[in-house]
């Protein structure tokens, strides 16, 4: 028993350390919050708490905010908080109403992706960020008839255009006793907010899974041994608590069933809480029957079920007022349970001490969360830890009552020993067979190694050939070239050629062949051979794509070789850039004045359509212009699912290099890519060709 108590104390200390606060974030003051220093380092998030500007009885759009300020001075409202009046003043309408809240946040993170973690509001809201509506729950309205409540916690991502962001929050409530921003909005860097949310999901799922499996385990215990009915009531309590964790907090039930009516969801939330007291009281009563008064148990049972019955028959505007009375009722039952446990400890009942310790931890966390939810104190919610500690210890307690089963296990161990002797004979036979098999495997390994050595030799030769054909010629004094070439294998699918047509005329070719290794090498050789052949006759980039397309359509139809490619010609007699693209994404020209210019695709990928005439684009170039040519591998590294977002992020990286020397641009982009991807290796072949006009 002493060892069990030590374990409970150790886990309790871990809980306390996990709830400690390292640094206190700033609070808003009169509608303004400055967090520049606090958010300057990564992995920091800020809760938007403190004094918000408050406009009661008005639903202001962002466009009218400055006008209303010029007419009247704003009130200030402390968030988190509720506008609910006293029940004695307004009865069951104490939380009804609507209002607008405004906060100016100075964060100093212009252009850096940020995210907001938005909990539920009581009981409908619209959130505007810099005048743009980014989030809402339900329908915000000035009347009960048109207002629709909804609980759907969410995370929204945005990129601030300035170092200061304006938040405008419209809230209305006609369905809950509490009205207003009772929960807290959290802001931080996108990666930090999402990681924090993922940690919460992991924590909740571990908690739900642990408690749920405790419940299922004890259901089966009761199924096989009905002489101990307390295991059944403990299992019901576990399942009920697991359901409540799933319903509340991050509202996972709403995420799975998005069309679930708000009223049903709220009833489930209240019932999962109200049912715990009578069911758990039954469990404690059966465990400590000699010390637990039956009359007290009947009182806890019938009053608890009465609360549940009221929830089922009434609307949310009524039964939400039952929460505080029920919390008081539950605490009264907990006090009585502690008296019962004290009596059991006095009589040295086995397991009563460890039961009391776990129960005290649970009740302490329960009281803490009551005070937090009623906005009496501002502290973290720790009921998750209290629940886990309570039910973990209860599982250990129940398991001790089944320790006699180990006597049967000892008898089975003797029988198992006899079976092991028989098994040992069979194992000896298997060992002889394994030795024969190892000999055959060794012979096959030698054969495979020989073939692998030959393949490795072929790969080295292919790599050498590719390096020779992709060598960049001297192009001074017209242009400078820097190349980022990252194949995922020794020989990748990306292929590029740079050819000097004349002293003043240069041609760049960039393609993405299919596959890797020897297959990519063979395809690259075919592409290079055709490029050399048609470059002599193709006067313009689109002509070269036309001839190559026709060749691969006619000559290699059986091979089904399709690949995107682009050609860029530089004519320095006329200071012209000529461009043609076959199935490639938009390329980038950064003018010397830092203006971004887009080179759009001019036709389909090569080899798919017969006699297709590709378009051509011409533009003047001058000294200082930079051209960025890249394959889709580089593009998809940023965001494989959202091409528009990936292109936007790549364009932003290019913009950030505008003031860098030429030699630092490609290393800087590679560094930014790795930082954005949060990795140091490439998922696909990636090529970036940087050209600067001298």
Q: Do 324 and 416 lie in a common domain?
A: no
Tokens of 639: 């965001």
Q: Do 475 and 358 lie in a common domain?
A: no
pLDDT reported for residue 16: 46
- Looking at the 3D structure of the chain, how many domains does it have? 4
151 within some domain? yes
Q: Do 475 and 328 lie in a common domain?
A: no
541-590 per-position pLDDT tens digit: 999 999 999 988 887 666 677 899 999 999 999 999 999 999 998 999 99
pLDDT category, 689, cuts 50, 70, 90?
very high
Tell me how crowded residue 675 is: count the other CB atoms within 10 A of its CB: 11
pLDDT at position 315 over 60:
yes
CATH of the domain at 550: 3.60.40.10
518 within some domain? yes
20 within some domain? no
418 within some domain? yes
pLDDT reported for residue 429: 82
20-58 per-position pLDDT tens digit: 445 678 899 999 999 998 888 888 899 999 999 999 989
Tell me how crowded residue 468 is: count the other CB atoms within 10 A of its CB: 8
Partners of residue 290 on adjacent β-strands? none
Q: Do 368 and 247 lie in a common domain?
A: yes
Which residue, 544, 546, 492, is CA-closest to 521? 492
Q: Which helix (H) or strand (E) holds 186?
A: strand 186-189
pLDDT reported for residue 369: 66
Q: Do 349 and 383 lie in a common domain?
A: yes
Tokens of 358: 């776990």
Q: Do 431 and 359 lie in a common domain?
A: no
pLDDT at position 83 over 90:
no
pLDDT category, 124, cuts 50, 70, 90?
very high
Tell me how crowded residue 176 is: count the other CB atoms within 10 A of its CB: 23
24 within some domain? no
What one-character-per-residue DSSP string does 17-59 give? HHT--SSPPP-BBTTEEE-TTTTSSSS-EEE--EEEEEEET--
**Cβ atoms of 549 and 585 closer than 8 Å:** no
Q: What is the mean pLDDT of the chain?
A: 83
Average pLDDT in the 517-522 region? 70
pLDDT at position 435 over 60:
yes
Could you tell me the pTM of the whole model? 0.53
13 within some domain? no
Tell me how far apart the alpha carbons of residues 82 and 74 are, in angstroms, rounded to a whole number. 17
Integer-rounded Cα radius of gyration of the chain: 35
Please name the residue ranges forming H helices in 225-293. 230-247, 252-256, 262-274, 276-287
pLDDT category, 19, cuts 50, 70, 90?
very low
pLDDT category, 2, cuts 50, 70, 90?
very low
The last residue of a domain, from among 158, 193, 228? 193
Angle (CA) 415 419 423, round 5°? 165
pLDDT category, 604, cuts 50, 70, 90?
very high
pLDDT reported for residue 629: 94
Q: Do 665 and 642 lie in a common domain?
A: yes
Percent of the chain with pLDDT over 90: 31
How far, CA to CA in Å, does 127 sit from each of 37, 81, 151, 425?
A: 25, 17, 14, 74
pLDDT at position 239 over 90:
no
Main-chain dihedrals φ then ψ at residue 664, nearest 5 degrees: -95, -5
Tell me how crowded residue 613 is: count the other CB atoms within 10 A of its CB: 12
Q: Do 226 and 314 lie in a common domain?
A: yes
The last residue of a domain, from among 469, 503, 525? 469
Average pLDDT in the 216-239 region? 82
pLDDT category, 18, cuts 50, 70, 90?
very low
pLDDT reported for residue 21: 44
247 within some domain? yes
Higher-confidence residue of 27 and 374: namely 27
Q: Do 138 and 66 lie in a common domain?
A: yes
437-464 per-position pLDDT tens digit: 887 888 777 777 766 666 666 566 556 6
Tell me how far apart the alpha carbons of residues 672 and 675 are, in angstroms, rounded to a whole number. 5
The last residue of a domain, from among 353, 386, 401? 401
Tokens 């929204």, located at residue? 156
Q: Do 418 and 299 lie in a common domain?
A: no
pLDDT category, 15, cuts 50, 70, 90?
very low
11 within some domain? no
pLDDT reported for residue 465: 65
Q: Do 452 and 425 lie in a common domain?
A: yes
Domain of 118, in residue numbers: 31-193
Q: Where are the beta strands (DSSP E) in 561-625?
A: 565-571, 576-582, 587-590, 596-599, 617-620
Q: Do 290 and 370 lie in a common domain?
A: yes
CATH of the domain at 65: 2.60.120.260
Tokens of 571: 């004519």
Tell me how crowded residue 11 is: count the other CB atoms within 10 A of its CB: 16
pLDDT at position 82 over 70:
yes
């Amino acid at each position: 028993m002493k060892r069990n108590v030590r374990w409970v104390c150790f886990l309790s200390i871990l809980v306390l350390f996990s709830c400690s606060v390292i640094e206190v974030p700033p609070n808003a003051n009169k509608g303004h919050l400055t967090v520049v220093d606090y958010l300057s380092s990564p992995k920091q998030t800020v809760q938007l708490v403190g004094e918000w500007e408050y406009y009661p009885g008005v639903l202001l759009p962002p466009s009218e905010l400055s006008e209303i300020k010029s007419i009247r001075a704003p009130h200030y409202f402390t968030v988190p908080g509720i506008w609910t009046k006293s029940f004695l003043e307004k009865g069951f309408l104490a939380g009804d109403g609507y209002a607008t809240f405004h906060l100016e946040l100075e964060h100093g993170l212009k252009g850096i992706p940020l995210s907001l973690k938005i909990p539920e509001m009581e009981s409908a809201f619209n959130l505007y960020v810099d005048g743009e509506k980014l989030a809402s729950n339900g329908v915000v309205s000035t009347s009960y008839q048109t207002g629709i409540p909804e609980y759907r916690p969410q995370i929204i991502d945005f990129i601030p255009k300035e170092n200061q962001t304006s938040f405008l929050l419209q809230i209305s409530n006609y369905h809950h006793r509490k009205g207003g921003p009772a929960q807290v909005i959290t802001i931080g860097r996108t990666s930090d907010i999402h990681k924090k949310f993922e940690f919460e999901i992991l924590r909740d799922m571990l908690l739900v899974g642990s408690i749920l499996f405790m419940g299922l385990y004890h259901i089966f215990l009761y199924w096989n041994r009905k002489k101990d009915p307390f295991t059944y009531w403990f299992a019901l309590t576990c399942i009920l608590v697991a359901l409540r964790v799933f319903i509340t907090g991050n509202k996972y039930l709403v995420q799975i069933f998005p069309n679930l009516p708000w009223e049903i969801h709220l009833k489930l939330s209240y019932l999962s809480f109200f049912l715990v007291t009578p069911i758990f009281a039954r469990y404690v009563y059966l465990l400590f029957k000699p010390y637990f008064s039956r009359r007290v148990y009947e009182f806890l049972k019938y009053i608890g079920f009465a609360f549940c019955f009221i929830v089922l028959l009434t609307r949310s505007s009524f039964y939400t007022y039952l929460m505080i009375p029920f919390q008081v009722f539950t605490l009264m039952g907990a006090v009585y349970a502690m008296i019962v446990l004290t009596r059991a400890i006095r009589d040295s009942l086995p397991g009563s001490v460890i039961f009391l310790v776990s129960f005290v931890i649970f009740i302490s966390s329960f009281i803490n969360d009551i005070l937090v939810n009623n906005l009496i104190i501002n502290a973290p919610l720790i009921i998750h830890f209290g629940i886990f500690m309570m039910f973990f210890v209860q599982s250990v307690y129940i398991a001790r009552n089944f320790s006699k089963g180990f006597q049967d296990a000892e008898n089975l161990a003797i029988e198992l020993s006899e079976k092991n002797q028989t098994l040992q004979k069979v194992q000896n036979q298997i060992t002889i067979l394994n030795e024969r098999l190892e000999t055959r495997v060794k012979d096959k390994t030698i054969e495979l190694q020989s073939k692998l050595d030959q393949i490795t030799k072929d790969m080295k030769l292919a790599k050498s050939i590719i390096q020779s054909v992709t060598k960049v010629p001297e192009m001074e004094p017209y242009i400078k070239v820097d190349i980022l070439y990252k194949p995922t294998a020794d020989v990748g699918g990306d292929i590029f050629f740079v050819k000097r047509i004349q002293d003043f005329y240069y041609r760049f070719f960039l393609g993405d062949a299919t596959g890797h290794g020897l297959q990519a090498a063979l395809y690259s050789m075919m592409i290079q051979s055709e490029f050399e052949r048609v470059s002599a006759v193709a006067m313009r980039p689109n002509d070269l794509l036309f001839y190559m397309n026709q060749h691969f359509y006619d000559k290699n139809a059986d091979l089904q070789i399709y690949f995107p490619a682009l050609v860029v010609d530089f004519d320095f007699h006329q200071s012209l850039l000529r461009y043609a693209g076959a199935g490639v994404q938009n390329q980038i020209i950064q003018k010397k004045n830092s203006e971004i210019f887009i080179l759009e695709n001019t036709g389909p990928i090569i080899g798919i359509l017969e006699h297709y005439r590709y378009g051509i684009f011409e533009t003047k170039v001058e000294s200082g212009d930079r051209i960025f040519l890249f394959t889709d591998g580089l593009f998809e590294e940023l965001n494989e699912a959202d091409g528009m977002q990936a292109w936007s992020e790549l364009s932003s990286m290019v913009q950030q290099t505008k003031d860098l020397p030429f030699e630092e641009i490609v290393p800087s982009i590679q560094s930014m890519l790795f930082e954005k991807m949060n990795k140091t290796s490439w998922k696909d072949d990636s090529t970036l060709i940087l050209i600067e006009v001298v």
